[in-house]
Amino acid sequence: MPAEEAKALGHPTRLRIVFACRDRAMTNKQLADELGTTPGTIHYHLRPLVAQGFLVPLEPRPGPRGSREQPYRATGRSWELAGSDATIGVLRAVAADELLAAADEQVIVLSRVGLTLTARERHAVVRRLSAVLEEVSARSRARETQRDAVQDDEVVSTGGRSRQEPLHDVTVLLAVTAGRPGTDG
């Protein structure tokens, strides 16, 4: 990840903004209310996220008392934070907050798998997991562009018949950690 992108994601508030805007477009005020801060603080953190392509401003909309609201939506762009202790620490804290905030019925699967791998095998596993997530993410982004037209339903063929299947927003938190050589962690 280039330094500018890592810097844009290197603050807990910025990661929380990206996570909050992945499911729906939100304005400064909505984000401030959601994250328990001020619209000015949110505005400050939005600039680098937009500049680095993690958020996109949508069409402004009318707000209260004739004001204009600027909604932002996460672009769904995939990224990995590797090699920077500061950004990894921030992501770890924000991901833990998100997992802890999820209601029990929102957690679809939570698993831990301990493996003993060579460095080459570990790299291959990470590469394959990333490829699967990127493939699914690309389908999701394509669906997002058509979401209004499909009304949150997708046509699914079952045995020659088609039916509407509702869409669900899903978050995947994936962490691959490595223990010291010769340990099981």
List per-residue pLDDT tens for the chain, 185 residues long: 677 887 888 788 998 899 889 878 999 999 999 999 999 999 999 999 999 999 999 999 888 888 889 999 998 776 665 556 666 777 777 778 778 877 888 888 888 788 888 989 988 998 898 889 888 877 876 776 665 444 444 555 556 555 667 777 777 777 777 766 555 44
Residue 38 shares a structural domain with residue 19: yes
Domain-located, residue 33: yes
DSSP letter string, 52-70 = TTSEEE---EE-GGG-EE-
Residue carrying structure tokens 């997991």: 129
CATH code at 46?
1.10.10.10
Q: Where among 54, 71, 101 does a domain terminate? A: 101
Domain-located, residue 41: yes
Q: How far apart are CA 112 and CA 127, in angstroms?
A: 18
Tokens of 121: 């095998």
Look up the domain containing 4 and give its range. Answer: 1-101
Residues 32 and 53 occupy one common structural domain = yes
Question: How many domains does one find in the chain?
Answer: 2
Measured between alpha carbons, how far is 43 from 163 in angstroms, rounded to an integer? 43
Dist. CA 70–CA 62, nearest whole Å:
9
CB-based contacts of 49-56 (< 8 A; 24+ apart in sequence): 49/8, 49/14, 49/17, 49/18, 51/4, 51/8, 52/4, 52/5, 52/8, 52/9, 53/77, 54/5, 54/8, 54/9, 54/18, 54/79, 55/17, 55/18, 55/21
- Together in a domain, 91 and 161: no
User: Which of 84, 29, 77, 85 is closest to 50 using CA atoms?
Assistant: 77
Instruction: Examine residue 120 and state whether it is found in any structural domain, yes or no.
Output: yes
Is the pTM here over 0.85, yes or no?
A: no
